[in-house]
Structure 1
Amino acid sequence: MSTMRGIAGWMIVLACLSGCGYNDLQGLDEDTKAAWSEVVNQYQRRADLIPNLVATVKGYAGHEKDTLEKVVQARAQATGVQITPETLNNPEAFERFQNAQAGLTSALGRLIAIAENYPNLKADQNFRDLQSQLEGTENRIAVARKRYIDRVAEYNKMVRYFPTNLTAKFLLHLEERPNFAVADEKSVATPPPVKF
Structure 2
Amino acid sequence: MEIYPIVLAGTIFASVGWFIFSYNRLAEYKARAHNHWHQINVQLQRRYDLIPNLVETARTTMNFEKSTLESVVQARNMAARTLQGIKGNLTAEKMEALFQADQLLTSNMHKFLAVVEQYPNLRSVENMRCLHEELVSTENRIAFARQAYNDAVTRYNESQMRIPTKWIASCTEHAPMEFYPISSEEVKNSFR
Common fold: TM-score over 0.5: yes
Aligned equivalents of 1:41 and 1:10: distance in 2? 49
Aligned pairs, how many?
184
- Write the mapping of 1:55-66 to structure 2, written as runs, cut at 5 A: 55-66=56-67
Instruction: Tell me the amino acid that sits aligned with residue 179 of structure 1.
Output: F
Aligned equivalents of 1:79 and 1:111: distance in 2? 18
**Structure 2 equivalent of residue 84 of structure 1:** 87
Range that drifts further, 124-133 or 17-26:
17-26
Instruction: Tell me the amino acid that sits aligned with residue 78 of structure 1.
Output: A
Superposed displacement of residue 165, structure 1 = 0.8
- For residues 26-85 of structure 1, what are the alpha-carbon distances to aligned partners after superposition, in whole Å with 9 as ceiling and x for unaligned? 100100000000001000000000111000010110211111111111011101113233
Instruction: Tell me the amino acid that sits aligned with residue 146 of structure 1.
Output: Q
Range that drifts further, 116-125 or 95-104:
95-104
Quick check: 1:75–1:104 contact (8 Å CA) kept in 2?
A: yes
Identity of aligned residues (%): 35
Structure 2: which 5+ residue stretches go unaligned?
A: none
For the aligned residue pairs, the C-alpha RMSD in angstroms reads: 2.3
**Structure 2 equivalent of residue 169 of structure 1:** 170
Instruction: Tell me the amino acid that sits aligned with residue 129 of structure 2.
Output: R
- For residues 101-150 of structure 1, what are the alpha-carbon distances to aligned partners after superposition, in whole Å with 9 as ceiling and x for unaligned? 11111111111111111011000000000000000000000000000010
Structure 1: which 5+ residue stretches go unaligned?
A: 192-196
Aligned equivalents of 1:61 and 1:42: distance in 2? 28
**Structure 2 equivalent of residue 194 of structure 1:** none
Aligned equivalents of 1:77 and 1:83: distance in 2? 13
Superposed displacement of residue 8, structure 1 = 4.2
TM-score (norm 1): 0.86
4+ residue runs of structure 1 moved beyond 2 angstroms? Answer: 7-11, 17-20, 180-183
TM-score (norm 2): 0.88
- Write the mapping of 1:100-139 to structure 2, written as runs, cut at 5 A: 100-139=101-140
- Write the mapping of 1:177-196 to structure 2, written as runs, cut at 5 A: 177-183=177-183
Instruction: Tell me the amino acid that sits aligned with residue 135 of structure 2.
Output: L
SS in structure 2 at match of 1:162: coil
69 and 117 in structure 1: CA distance in 2 versus 1, 3 angstrom threshold: same
